[in-house]
């Protein structure tokens, strides 16, 4: 027998109207209001009940708002608002008060829709457990890759298959920054400043640039794909702050482009989830993902390779995903039934970064003299790291007045992260190596 919601106070028996409470009216919230307002008749037809926006909780009720926002709905009493809604949409962001408000909404029998990747990646199981106990829906399509339907495909469409790997560009800001570095030769700071001016990056771009945003999304996708709890703390994270214009130029010279990738993969030993900049061959579809767009590759045993592409950020695209969830949970209110609950039965071991196996490209600045390459190659061999190719670009002087140095660009075959780290440390210790210019993984080859 279907589990009934714990509270029947907010559940109309034959609903002709469902009360929707909106928490947050910023970039995304404003566009949620616009869709709820302008598409009201269509939404009612699709749901089978009218969706009535009963309140909008914000921090500052006096602040200027888009004219689409009915100011009489604004309130600073978010706690009171969630108690009188059938559906609560949270687009506030951050951990608190978002978590407490969602838990309160669930406790009062409301279905909840959130775009909050940070909260889900840190404390998703608490929300799932509360929603399960109350018998209500918890939906979060907008939390990963904005408008792109990727949560539902992984959570529902592929649930009969065995997902092996998820590989994607899930942060629009960093993709824009790397794209501008590659196409315009900008340095990182200039490209980030451009992204801020265009509204892609936050005033404090740390969450994007340092990979926290992508890591949260990777954790959510990995949890769904592998039926295993993965939190943001399990994700090996490296942002793009160390990527230089020189790295980007070098990538192009070797037939690659640099992308910030989120990777979640299953092996016989468990699952490994990581976010880092990587060299992607120019022939790979992810290399063609330009500007602030996102794209996610999913590899499943029976389905094979699937690719999802679109706008991963921005008010209207994200609101589209939010409204899709609102319609789904509202339909359940009208017709009965519930969406999926947490699926963490597999409980696979979450492996450390050192277990990851990839190919690498290592760029070194070395003394230009006979025998240097042999010394470097010997270190790689000692650590069991196989060389795929070595390039020594022509033109020796890297700095004015320095003419006895050369660059070596070493591409490896697949090696573990642990072996590569030990190799690089040993290479750094060689007298003939002036500095390690960069170590980048190669993905998608
Ligand atoms: P904004 O900062 O633009 O908006 C946040 C809103 O929350 C504001 O309206 C703010 O009120 C309100 N708020 C903040 N604190 C409180 C509080 N204590 N009580 C009530 N309201 C509060 O954020 P975004 O719209 O950009 O993001 C919202 C969520 O959507 C986040 O979880 C984000 O990660 C996610 N998301 C965002 C995307 C994007 O492109 N922006 C894409 C995908 C997901 P006030 O207006 O008064 O300041
Ligand atoms: N800041 C994110 C991005 C959007 O640049 O992709 C919200 O997920």
Distance 161 CA to ligand 2 centre (A): 29
Residue 211, Ramachandran bin (φ over 0: left; ψ between -120 and 50: alpha; else beta): left
Question: pLDDT tens digits, residue range 43-75?
Answer: 999 999 999 999 999 999 999 999 999 999 999
Do residue 158 and residue 21 come from a single domain? Answer: no
**Which residue is closest in CA terms to ligand 1's atom 1?**
26
Which residue's entry shows tokens 């061999």?
A: 381
**Which residue is closest in CA terms to ligand 2's atom 4?**
313
Residue 3: pLDDT band with limits 50, 70, 90 = very low
Give the phi and the psi of residue 52 in degrees, each rounded to 5.
Answer: -105, 120
Indicate the pairing of strand 271-281 with strand 236-237: parallel
In the chain, what percentage of residues exceed pLDDT 70?
A: 94
Residues whose beta carbon lies within 6 Å of some atom of ligand 2? 171-173, 200, 208, 213, 312-313
With CA atoms as reference, report the closest residue to 77 among 129, 21, 138.
21
**Which residue is closest in CA terms to ligand 2's atom 8?**
313
**Average per-residue pLDDT in the chain?**
93
259 is catalytic: no
Distance 312 CA to ligand 1 centre (A): 16
Indicate the pairing of strand 138-139 with strand 163-169: unpaired
> Which ligand is located closest to the Cα atom of residue 117?
1
Q: Are 243 and 258 in contact (CB under 8 A)?
A: yes
Look at residues 312, 346, 372 and tell me which one is the last residue of a structural domain: 312
For residue 123, the domain's CATH number is 3.40.50.720
In the chain, what percentage of residues exceed pLDDT 90?
A: 87
Q: Are 444 and 284 in contact (CB under 8 A)?
A: yes
Whether residue 22 lies inside any domain: the answer is: yes
- pTM across the whole model: 0.93
For residue 423, the domain's CATH number is 3.30.70.260
Whether residue 65 lies inside any domain: the answer is: yes
Quick check: 444 pLDDT over 90? no
Q: Number of structural domains, the chain?
A: 3
Distance 437 CA to ligand 2 centre (A): 29
Q: Give the number of the atom of ligand 2 that is nearest the alpha carbon of residue 174.
A: 5
Whether residue 345 lies inside any domain: the answer is: no
| Stretch 240-254: mean pLDDT | 94
The pLDDT score that the predictor gives to residue 404 is 81
Q: Give the number of the atom of ligand 1 that is nearest the alpha carbon of residue 93.
A: 32
**Whole domain around residue 402: which residue ranges?**
356-442
Do residue 176 and residue 252 come from a single domain? Answer: yes
Do residue 31 and residue 174 come from a single domain? Answer: no
> Which ligand is located closest to the Cα atom of residue 178?
2
Quick check: 304 pLDDT over 50? yes
Residues whose beta carbon lies within 6 Å of some atom of ligand 1? 23-29, 57-60, 63, 78, 91-93, 97, 115-117, 142, 146, 313-314, 318
Distance of CA 204 to the CA centre of its chain: 18
Distance 314 CA to ligand 2 centre (A): 8
Residue 275, Ramachandran bin (φ over 0: left; ψ between -120 and 50: alpha; else beta): beta
Counting ligand 2 atoms within 8 A of each CB, the residue from 27, 207, 213 with the most, and so the one to mutate, is 213
Q: Give the number of the atom of ligand 2 that is nearest the alpha carbon of residue 170.
A: 6
Q: Give the number of the atom of ligand 1 that is nearest the alpha carbon of residue 97.
A: 18
Q: Are 216 and 120 in contact (CB under 8 A)?
A: yes
The pLDDT score that the predictor gives to residue 168 is 97
Distance 91 CA to ligand 1 centre (A): 5
Residue 241: pLDDT band with limits 50, 70, 90 = very high
Give the phi and the psi of residue 141 in degrees, each rounded to 5.
Answer: -55, -35
Do residue 67 and residue 182 come from a single domain? Answer: no
Distance 313 CA to ligand 2 centre (A): 5
For residue 253, the domain's CATH number is 3.30.360.10
The pLDDT score that the predictor gives to residue 317 is 94
Do residue 159 and residue 308 come from a single domain? Answer: yes
CA distances from 131 to 113, 135, 328, 411 (A): 11, 6, 15, 49
Whether residue 343 lies inside any domain: the answer is: no
Do residue 22 and residue 76 come from a single domain? Answer: yes
Residue 400: pLDDT band with limits 50, 70, 90 = low
Q: Are 177 and 171 in contact (CB under 8 A)?
A: no
Do residue 182 and residue 218 come from a single domain? Answer: yes
Whether residue 103 lies inside any domain: the answer is: yes
Do residue 164 and residue 292 come from a single domain? Answer: yes
Q: Which residue has the higher pLDDT, 15 or 273?
A: 273
Q: Are 20 and 51 in contact (CB under 8 A)?
A: yes
| Stretch 315-328: mean pLDDT | 97
| Stretch 1-17: mean pLDDT | 54
Q: Write the CB contacts of 227 (distance below 8 Å, at least 6 apart in sequence).
A: 343, 344, 345, 346, 348
Question: pLDDT tens digits, residue range 160-193?
Answer: 999 999 999 999 999 999 999 999 999 999 999 9
The secondary structure of the chain, three-state, reads CCCCCCCCCCCCCCCCEEEEEEECCCHHHHHHHHHHHHCHHHHHHHHCCEEEEEEEECCCCCCCCCCCCCHHHEECCHHHHHCCCCEEEECCCCCCCHHHHHHHHHHCCCEEEECCHHHHHHHHHHHHHHHHHHCCCEECHHHCCCCCCCHHHHHHHCCCCCEEEEEEECCHHHHHHHHHHHHHCCCHHHHHHHHHHCCCCCCCCHHHHCCHHHHHHHHHHHHHHHCCCCCHHHCEECCCCCCCHHHHHHHHHCCEEEEEEEEEEECCCCEEEEEEEEEEECCCHHHHCCCCEEEEEEEECCCEEEEEEEECCCHHHHHHHHHHHHHHHHHHHHHCCCCCCCCCCCCCCECCHHHCEEEEEEEEEEECCCCHHHHHHHHHHHCCCCEEEEECCCCCCCECCECCEEEEEEEECCEEHHHHHHHHHHHHCCCCEEEEEEEEEECCC
Look at residues 300, 335, 370 and tell me which one is the last residue of a structural domain: 335
Do residue 305 and residue 323 come from a single domain? Answer: no
Whether residue 436 lies inside any domain: the answer is: yes
Distance 25 CA to ligand 1 centre (A): 6
Whether residue 340 lies inside any domain: the answer is: no
The pLDDT score that the predictor gives to residue 196 is 87
Catalytic residue among 84, 117, 217, 259: 217
> Which ligand is located closest to the Cα atom of residue 116?
1
Look at residues 312, 346, 373 and tell me which one is the last residue of a structural domain: 312
Give the CA dihedral 20, 103, 91, 155, nearest 10 degrees.
-90
Do residue 274 and residue 186 come from a single domain? Answer: yes
The pLDDT score that the predictor gives to residue 5 is 47
Question: pLDDT tens digits, residue range 352-383?
Answer: 988 888 999 999 999 988 899 999 999 999 99
Whether residue 344 lies inside any domain: the answer is: no
Q: Give the number of the atom of ligand 2 that is nearest the alpha carbon of residue 171.
A: 6
> Which ligand is located closest to the Cα atom of residue 206?
2
Residue 400 CB-half CA count within 13 A:
0
Do residue 297 and residue 408 come from a single domain? Answer: no
Do residue 205 and residue 298 come from a single domain? Answer: yes
């Amino acid at each position: 027998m279907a589990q009934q919601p714990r509270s029947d106070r907010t559940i109309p028996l034959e609903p002709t109207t469902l009360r929707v409470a909106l928490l947050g009216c910023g970039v995304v919230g404003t566009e949620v209001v616009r869709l709820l307002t302008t598409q009201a008749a269509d939404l009612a037809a699709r749901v089978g009940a009218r969706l009535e926006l009963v309140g909008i909780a914000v921090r500052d009720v006096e602040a200027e708002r888009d004219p689409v926002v009915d100011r009489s709905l604004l309130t600073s009493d978010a706690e009171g608002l969630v108690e009188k809604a059938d559906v609560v949409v949270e687009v506030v962001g951050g951990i608190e008060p978002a978590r407490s408000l969602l838990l309160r909404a669930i406790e009062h029998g409301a279905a909840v829709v959130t775009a909050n990747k940070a909260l889900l990646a840190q404390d998703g199981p608490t929300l799932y457990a509360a929603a399960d106990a109350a018998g209500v829906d918890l939906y979060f399509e907008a939390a990963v890759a904005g408008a792109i339907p990727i949560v539902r495909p992984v959570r529902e469409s592929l649930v009969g298959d065995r997902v092996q790997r998820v590989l994607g560009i899930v942060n629009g800001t960093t993709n824009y920054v790397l794209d501008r570095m590659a196409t315009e030769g900008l340095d990182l700071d200039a490209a980030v400043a451009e992204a801020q001016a265009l509204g892609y990056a936050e005033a404090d771009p740390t969450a994007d640039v340092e990979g926290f945003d992508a890591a949260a999304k990777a954790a959510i996708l990995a949890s769904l794909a592998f039926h295993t709890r993965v939190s943001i703390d399990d994700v090996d994270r490296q942002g793009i702050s160390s990527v230089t214009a020189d790295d980007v130029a070098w990538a192009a010279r070797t037939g690659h482009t640099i992308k910030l990738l989120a990777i979640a993969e299953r092996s016989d030993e468990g699952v490994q989830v990581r976010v880092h900049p990587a060299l992607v061959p120019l022939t790979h579809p992810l290399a063609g993902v330009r500007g602030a767009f996102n794209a996610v590759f999913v590899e499943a045993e029976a389905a094979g390779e699937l690719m999802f592409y679109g706008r991963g950020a921005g008010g209207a695209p994200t609101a589209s995903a939010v409204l899709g969830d609102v319609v789904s949970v509202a339909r359940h209110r009208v017709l009965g039934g519930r969406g999926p609950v947490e699926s963490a039965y597999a409980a696979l071991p979450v492996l450390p970064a050192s277990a990851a196996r990839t190919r690498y490209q290592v760029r070194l600045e070395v003394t230009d003299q006979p025998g240097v390459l042999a010394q470097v190659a010997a270190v790689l061999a000692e650590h069991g790291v196989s060389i795929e190719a070595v390039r020594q670009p022509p033109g020796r002087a890297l700095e004015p007045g320095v003419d006895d140095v050369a660059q070596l660009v070493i591409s490896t075959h697949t090696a573990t992260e642990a072996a590569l780290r030990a190799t690089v440390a040993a290479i750094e210790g060689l007298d003939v190596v002036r500095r390690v210019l960069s170590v980048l993984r190669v993905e998608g080859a």
